[in-house]
Copies of this chain bind each other. A is one copy, B any other.
Amino acid sequence: MNDTPLFIPLLLGTNREGRQSEAVAQFLLEKLGYRTDVATELFDVRAFTFSANDYGGALKEKNAPWRDAVRRADGLLIVSPEYNHGYPGTLKAALDLLFDEYKHKAVGIAAVSGGPWGGARMVENLLPVLRELGLVAIHQTLYFPNAGTTFGPRGTPADAGLEKRVGAFLDELVWMARVLKAGRASL
């Protein structure tokens, strides 16, 4: 019903050395790349500026690419590990940079964990924040447990069911982004 691709930036939410979320982000970027109904772009929190003793308009200006991307985005895809049952500080700092820009846009979460529980606790921890930002979290989640073994030597998923789960998740994210886009246009 809409020929213009939706714009759904991917936010990689950790700057830690050795982060396993990076491989997940690359995998999802590739999947998004196959879709003609979505355009995307990677935002890596390593590239953000978080000045100590600095907040507000000036800091937003220093992160203008992120601000401009969210402004024109129809949705977001957050790829993030779970640290101590919560979201990484850098992810929160990145999200806290903006406010109105998020309103009535869809968000999907890909949760990454080195352990068996798939980052499920980070997802629950993040929900109140996303809601306050006006983002609409879709009810599906991509869980990546035991992240060190997700991909084989050539980057192919070890779990044959992953491709299908990713497809259903992205379909839902795109659906919600499209529905909310139509809604924003009707206001």
Residues of A within 8 A of B (CB): 1, 15-18, 46, 50, 52-56, 83-96, 99, 103, 116-118, 120-121, 124-129, 131-134, 136-137, 139, 143, 145, 175-176, 178-180, 182-183, 186-187
Contacts and interface: CB of A to CB of B under 8 A. Distances in A.
B83 A92 contact: yes
Contacts of A93: 88-90, 93
Contact of A129 (B86, B117, B131, B132): B86
A93 B91 CA distance: 10
Contacts of A126: 86
Contact of A127 (B117, B128, B175, B179): B128
A134 B139 contact: yes
Contacts of A143: 117
A71 B48 CA distance: 32
Contacts of A124: 85, 121, 124-125, 128
Given A127-B127, A127-B128, A179-B182, 5 more contacts: A83-B96, A86-B87, A121-B121, A121-B124, A133-B139
Contacts of A186: 1, 179
